[in-house]
C-alpha cells in the first residue's frame, strides 16, 4: 500500500497508523417513544418477532395506576398483550393518548445497567392469542 502523503512528510517521519476500528455507539435503552399521532403501536419483545397493532384494534387498556408495574392490552379478536416492568405509568398514559409509537422490552445484556431509577423499564412482554373455542 502506498502512502499518498509521503511527499509531504519530513524525511524519516513514519506515516500515521490507521485508527483502530470502533464499535458503533449504542443508543441508550428507551422503554417507549411517542409521536403526535401514532397509527400503530410497535410491541418489541426481547429477541422475538415484533408486532405492530393498529390503535383501532385495541379494545381496552388496563394498567396499574399506583405501582406502574403492569399494562394489559386487550385486542379485537381476543389477543392480549401483557407488559410487566416498573415505572410504566408514562407508557400507559402514552397508550391512552394514542401517541405511543413503540414499547420495547429491555435486554440486560445489550442495554447495560439502569442509569435512572425513575425511568420506565419493560421487563417482560407476552403476546397471547385467543383461547380455542370448546366444542359443544
Domain ranges of the chain: 37-128
Longest dimension (CA), the chain: 94
Helix H segments across the chain?
Answer: 89-97, 108-111
How many CB atoms lie under 10 A from the CB of residue 111?
A: 18
Confidence of residue 59 (pLDDT cuts 50, 70, 90): very high
Return mean pLDDT, the chain: 87
Check residue 44 and give its pLDDT: 96
For residues 123 and 136, which has the higher predicted lDDT (pLDDT)?
Answer: 123
Residue range 74-122, pLDDT digits in tens: 999 999 999 999 999 999 999 999 999 999 999 888 776 666 788 999 9
CB 72 within 8 A of CB 81: yes
Confidence of residue 1 (pLDDT cuts 50, 70, 90): low
Give the residue-averaged pLDDT of 57-69.
Answer: 96
How many CB atoms lie under 10 A from the CB of residue 125?
A: 21
- CB neighbour burial string for 71-110, b if at least 16 within 10 angstroms, e if fewer: bbbebeeebebebbbbbbbbbbebbeebbbbbbbbbeeee
Rounded to whole angstroms, the Cα distance separating 27 from 118 reads 18
Confidence of residue 18 (pLDDT cuts 50, 70, 90): confident
Rounded to whole angstroms, the Cα distance separating 104 from 12 reads 56
Check residue 40 and give its pLDDT: 96
Amino acid at each position: 500500500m502506498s502512502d499518498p502523503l509521503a511527499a509531504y512528510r519530513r524525511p524519516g517521519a513514519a506515516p500515521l497508523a490507521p485508527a483502530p476500528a470502533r464499535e458503533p455507539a449504542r443508543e441508550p435503552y428507551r422503554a417507549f417513544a411517542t409521536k403526535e399521532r401514532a397509527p400503530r403501536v410497535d410491541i418489541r419483545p426481547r429477541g422475538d418477532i415484533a408486532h405492530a397493532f393498529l390503535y383501532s384494534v385495541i379494545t381496552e387498556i388496563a394498567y396499574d395506576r399506583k405501582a406502574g408495574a403492569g399494562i394489559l392490552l386487550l385486542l379485537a379478536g381476543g389477543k392480549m398483550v401483557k407488559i410487566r416492568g416498573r415505572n410504566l405509568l408514562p407508557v400507559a398514559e402514552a397508550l391512552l393518548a394514542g401517541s405511543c409509537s413503540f414499547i420495547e422490552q429491555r435486554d440486560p445484556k445489550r442495554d447495560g445497567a439502569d442509569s435512572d431509577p425513575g425511568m420506565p423499564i419493560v421487563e417482560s412482554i407476552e403476546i397471547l392469542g385467543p383461547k380455542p373455542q370448546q366444542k359443544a
